[in-house]
A and B are shown apart, each in its own frame.
Chain A
Amino acid sequence: MPSMQKPKEILDQTDPLVREIIADILTIEKEYLHFKNLDAVKDKEKEVFDKIISLLDKRVGK
Chain B
Amino acid sequence: MKIIALTLNNFRQFFGEHRINFSIDDRRNVTIIHGENGAGKTTLLNAFKWAFYGGTDFDSGVGNILNEQAIGTTAQGERIALAVRVDFEHEGARYTAERTQGFTKVGGMTVEPIGGSVMELTWIDADGRYQKSSNSDNQINQILPEKMHSYFFFNGERIEKLANARAAGQIRDAIKTLMGLEVVERGVGHLRDKVVKVFRKRWKDESSGQLAAVLEEEASVLENIEAVNGELETVRENIAEYKEEMKAIGTRLVAIGASAKLQHEREEIEERLVGIKGERDEATRHARDLISERGFLAFLDGVVSTVDEILEDRRHKGELPYKIKEQFIDDLLAEGRCICGRDLLPGTPARENVESFRRSAGSEGLEEAFLRTSSDLKQIPKARVALFDTLRANAERTRKLREERERLAGRLDMISSELSKLGHEDAAALEERRQGLERDRDEALRQEGRLRDQLAETEEKARAVRATREELATKSELAETTRRKLEVAEECLRVLQALHEALSDQTRSELSKRVNGTFEKILRKGYWAEIDTDYALQIYKEVGEHGRQMVYEKSTGESQVTSLSFIASIVSLAKEKHQQGSSFFRGGVYPIVMDSPFGALDPDYREKIARYIPELADQVIVLASNSQWRGEVERECGPRVGKEVSLIYYSPHRKDGVDPYYVREGSDYERTEIEDGYHGR
Contact = CB atoms under 8 A, between A and B. Distances in A.
Interface of A: 1, 4-7, 10-11, 14-15, 17-19, 21-22, 25-26, 29-30, 32-36, 38-39, 45, 48-49, 52-53, 56-57, 59-62
B139 interface: yes
Given A11-B499, A49-B195, A18 B142 contact: no
Contacts, number: 102
Interface residues on B, range: 35 or more
Given A25-B492, A25-B496, A38-B135, A33 B485 contact: no
Interface stretch (B186-194, B423-431, B451-459, B587-595): B186-194
A35 B492 contact: no
Contacts of B199: 53, 56
A35 B183 contact: no
Interface of B: 133-135, 138-139, 141-142, 182-184, 186-187, 190-191, 194-195, 198-199, 480-482, 484-485, 488-489, 491-492, 495-496, 498-499, 501-503, 505-506, 533, 583-584
Most A Cβ at <10 Å: residue of B190, B191, B496, B505: B190
Most A Cβ at <10 Å: residue of B198, B498, B506: B498
6 contacts: A4-B502, A10-B495, A22-B187, A26-B187, A39-B138, A60-B481
A29 to B, nearest CB: 5
B187 A21 contact: no
Contacts of B491: 14-15, 18
Contact of B492 (A18, A30, A32, A61): A18
Among all A-B residue pairs, the 5 with the closest Cβ atoms: A61-B481, A35-B139, A49-B194, A38-B138, A60-B485
A21 B492 contact: yes
A39 B498 CA distance: 31
Contacts of A11: 495, 499
A39 B183 contact: no
Given A7-B502, A10-B498, A57-B485, A35 B138 contact: yes
SS of A interface (majority): helix
Given A33-B142, A53-B198, A39 B134 contact: yes
Contact of B190 (A17, A18, A39, A49): A49
Contact of B184 (A4, A26, A38): A26
A38 B184 CA distance: 18
Most A Cβ at <10 Å: residue of B492, B499, B533: B492
A52 B499 contact: no
A53 B502 contact: no
Contacts of B141: 35
B183 A1 contact: no
Contacts of A7: 499, 502-503, 506, 584
Given A10-B495, A35-B133, A35-B138, A56 B488 contact: yes
A23 B495 CA distance: 11
A38 B182 CA distance: 15
A29 B488 contact: no
Given A6-B506, A60-B481, A22 B182 contact: no
Contact of A61 (B480, B496, B501, B584): B480
Nearest to B582: A7
